[in-house]
Structure 1
Amino acid sequence: MNNKADIWISAVLYLGLGVIILTLILAVGVPVVNKIRDKNIAIDTENLMLSLDNQIRAVYSEGPGSKRPFKFEIRKGNFVVNENDETINWNFETTALLSQPGATVEKGNMVLLTQETSKQGTYISSFQLNYSGILNIKLQGSNGEFTGANALLVSNSGATGTSLPTIEITPI
């Protein structure tokens, strides 16, 4: 009779030990996976922003009437076209430190700024393309905020009443 009880006690102890080990692995592993995921999202978005900048500058240099489609996906954060400031911004909250907080980092025509939040170990990273003084950004048919999968038509409508050419961005 004692042997049967020993088997059950051993089974319960091994089960408990297994649950504790799995909990520890998840407690350590999930934050690491989240940081890696955020870094990958940031790298993808950096490439997306630089590619969008190349498309806008190509349409600008080709002159009035030039049009190019641009497809992209925003997996995390806010992608905003601000025609008042002539900027295109992408912001997201992350646990990955992409640059020194408060310091701007220029990557081509893009600026990266990381700011600390009130929550320890969490940051807001902002990628920005600024066309102020270069060209006018005009957004057609949208409120300026994009999430998920998107397609835009970037077109050069020339100079209209100003000395700067106008680049129209239209969701398609």
Structure 2
Amino acid sequence: MRVLTSFDDRDPVPWANGAGETTELVSLADSESLTPLARPWRLSIARLDRTAEFSALPGMVRTFLPTAEVVLSVDGRTQRIPRLTPLRFRGDQAVVLTELGEPCFAVNLMVAQADSVDPPRRGLVMIGPDEERTVSADDGAAFLLTLASNPDHPRFQLLELTGCDGPTDRLGGVLLH
């Protein structure tokens, strides 16, 4: 297991629409060197402290995982999202955070949509903390994002997993694979 980056080591930046802040852990350019055989992807941690519209990100597929229960409107359809439950949607959809019980963070994985011209490349997916976590070394790159601090790792630390790493359940995080 290798530490790639930590939330605490990065500065927040405004959302593309200026309605909030996010801390980028992996940029699209960084992802090209981390996973050259996968479609470009971006990983960030958004601060959610008020209702707001999400930035439009055409050409991307987004996976959103809040650290507290929230309510989103996705293309006008209301969806209650339980704590630590991933929701996937396209970056060109109209998404609004309509209810927020308490300020929290949200993990955002954005993956470029498949291009029919290029050779097929797999897209990274987020596996939530309550979902099956079996990954073999032959499955390609895998990363773990910690969701809570523990004696060995702070909250929101991104780790690259290797074939010899044991079970990741004890680290309390989401698997990116």
Same fold at TM > 0.5: no
Which entry has the higher C-alpha Rg, 1 or 2? 1
TM-score (norm: length of structure 1): 0.27
More helix as a share of residues: 1
